[in-house]
Amino acid sequence: MVARSEGKGAMTVLTWSDDRVEQLKKLWEAGLSASQIAAELGNVTRNAVIGKVHRLGLSGRAKSPSSAAPRPRKARPAQHMMRVTRPISRGNTALAQAFEVEVEAEPVTYDNVVPMSQRLSLLELNEATCHWPVGDPSSPDFFFCGGRALSGLPYCAQHSRVAYQPAADRRRAPAKPSTR
């Protein structure tokens, strides 16, 4: 056996002598663990023993008396478990949308149903009028609602309900198709 080390923390290289290999085989067949064999041989690590066993092809070995017989399981008291059925989903569900089954019917509101006399341009808006935009800003038909704004808000009652929804309601509400 040749052991050499160079410097602090250097690896120790050792060669397995025939005597040590024979002793390793006997201890392995006796059912000792790699840690126990390493301690018995001395000056060798558990991983070195595992590597040598692997290279020698020593797979089958006697079971130690403690691991030969299966352990008896503890008897558990009978519990009544309620099984909950879950929807079947496959693949990555991290970004899957969760759909609510219960949907409330909401009245259909159209943004463009604003009386002609109430419609305002950008230059006609003031603090008392609804600033809700209707239509495409690049279109000549674009206008603002112009209804009576609620105090302290830029929108009328109808458009305030649309603009200021609670966060929980926004998450639950399905996307509405745009009506243009």
Is residue 76 one of the residues assigned to a domain? no
Is residue 73 one of the residues assigned to a domain? no
Is residue 5 one of the residues assigned to a domain? no
CB 162 within 8 A of CB 109: yes
**What number of other Cβ atoms are within 10 A of residue 169's Cβ?**
9
Is residue 146 one of the residues assigned to a domain? yes
The structural domain count of the chain equals 2
Predicted pLDDT of residue 62: 56
Predicted pLDDT of residue 1: 47
CB 27 within 8 A of CB 39: no
Is residue 132 one of the residues assigned to a domain? yes
User: Rounded to a whole number, what is the largest CA-CA distance in the chain?
Assistant: 107
Is residue 121 one of the residues assigned to a domain? yes
Whole-angstrom distance, CA of residue 109 vs CA of residue 156: 14
pTM above 0.95, yes or no: no
Is residue 180 one of the residues assigned to a domain? no
Is residue 131 one of the residues assigned to a domain? yes
Q: Which residues contact 5 (CB under 8 A, 6 or more apart)?
A: 11, 12, 13
pLDDT by position in tens, the chain (length 180): 444 445 555 555 567 899 999 999 999 999 899 999 999 998 999 999 999 999 998 876 655 555 556 677 777 766 666 666 666 666 666 666 665 555 555 555 555 578 888 889 889 999 999 998 988 999 888 999 899 999 889 999 888 888 888 777 666 666 666 555
* Host domain of residue 47: 15-64
